[in-house]
């Protein structure tokens, strides 16, 4: 995975968007999940790497910049259908 990139995971069978991974320093730093989590709908997990081992943080609501990215990815996904 490349530095300062954004990756989108797509379900192979349904072609539905699954998650958006936001990279930094060669690692996933934030991940926006599409599936509902405790009534939050789309939500974010922040990733940390204590001792080099990946650790996904608790779910939280999207911030404004994450909402804009989420909307942009959805728009691009609709154009590809």
2-34 pLDDT, tens digit per residue, is: 667 899 998 888 888 899 999 988 889 999 999
Task: Enter the pTM of the model.
Answer: 0.86
> Does residue 4 come out as left (phi exceeding 0), alpha (psi in the -120 to 50 range) or beta?
left
Q: What is the pLDDT of residues 46-66, one digit of tens each?
A: 999 999 899 999 999 999 999
What's the number of domains the chain is made of?
A: 1
* pLDDT per residue as tens digits for the range 39-48: 999 999 999 9
Task: Please enumerate in sequence order all residues whose Cβ is within 8 A of that of 10, keeping only pairs 6 or more positions apart, or say none.
Answer: 16, 17, 18
* Residue 52 domain-assigned (yes or no): yes
Query: Could you tell me the residue range of the domain that residue 48 belongs to?
Result: 6-67
Q: Is residue 27 part of a domain?
A: yes
In a domain, 19, yes or no: yes
81 occurs within a structural domain? no
**CA dist., res. 66 & res. 81, Å (int):** 23
CA–CA gap between residue 52 and residue 60 (Å, rounded): 23
The answer to whether position 72 is within a domain reads no
Q: What is the pLDDT of residue 1?
A: 54
> Within a domain: residue 80?
no
Residue 81 has pLDDT above 80, yes or no: no
């Amino acid at each position: 995975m490349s530095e300062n990139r954004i990756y989108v995971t797509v379900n192979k069978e349904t072609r539905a968007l699954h998650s958006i991974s936001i990279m930094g320093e060669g690692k996933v730093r934030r991940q926006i999940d599409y599936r509902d989590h405790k009534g939050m709908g789309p939500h974010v997990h922040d990733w940390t790497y204590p001792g080099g081992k990946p650790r996904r943080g608790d779910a939280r609501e999207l911030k404004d910049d994450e909402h804009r990215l989420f909307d942009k990815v959805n728009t691009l996904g609709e154009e590809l259908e």
